[in-house]
Amino acid sequence: MDPLLARWGTVRLLGLDLADASLAEVAEALARRPPEMQFSYVVTPNADHFARLARQSDRFLHYYASAGALLLDSRVVSRLGSAVGLRVPPVVTGSDLTAELFEHWIALDEPVTIIGTTAESVAHLVRTYSLTRVAHFAPPFGFETNSQIVDQCVQFVRTHPARFVFLACGAPRQELLAHRIVETGGASGIGLCVGAAIDQIGGSETRAPKWMRSAGLEWSWRLLHEPRRMGLRYFRDLAILPALIRERLGARH
What are the tens digits of pLDDT across the range 51-94?
887 776 667 788 999 999 999 999 889 989 999 999 999 999 99
CATH number among 3.10.350.10, 3.60.15.10, 3.40.50.10700, 3.40.50.10860, domain 6-251? 3.40.50.10700
pLDDT at residue 3, rounded to an integer: 83
Predicted confidence at residue 231, as pLDDT, reads 56
Measuring CA to CA, which residue among 208, 198, 205 is closest to residue 98? 198
DSSP letter string, 203-238 = TSSPPPPHHHHHTT-HHHHHHHHSHHHHHHHHHHHG
Tell me the per-residue pLDDT of 99-158, one tens digit each, with 9 for 90 and over: 999 999 999 999 999 999 999 999 999 999 999 999 999 999 899 999 999 999 999 999
Q: What is the DSSP string of 32-98?
A: TS-TTSBPEEEE---HHHHHHHHHHHHHHHHHHHT-SEE-B--HHHHHHHHHTT---PPB--HHHHH
Examine the pLDDT at 50 and tell me if it is beyond 80.
yes
**pLDDT tens column, 161-199:** 999 999 999 989 999 999 999 999 999 999 999 998 999
Confidence class for position 44, pLDDT limits 50, 70, 90:
very high
Please say whether the beta carbons of 179 and 193 come within 8 A: no
What is the distance between the alpha carbons of residues 163 and 30, in angstroms, rounded to a whole number? Answer: 9
- For residue 98, the number of C-alpha atoms closer than 13 Å in the C-beta half-sphere is 29
pLDDT of 243 = 85
- Look at residue 187 in the predicted model and tell me its pLDDT: 97
Q: Can you tell me whether residue 135 is helix, strand or coil? A: strand
Q: Tell me, what's the pLDDT at 241? A: 83
Contacts of 118 (CB under 8 A, 6+ apart): 138, 199, 202, 204
pTM of this prediction?
A: 0.88
- What pLDDT was estimated at residue 75? 87
- Report the distance separating Cα 134 and Cα 117, nearest Å: 13
pLDDT at 61: 85
Extents of the domains making up the chain: 6-251
pLDDT in tens, 196-249: 899 988 665 566 666 666 656 666 666 565 666 655 566 666 778 888 888 888
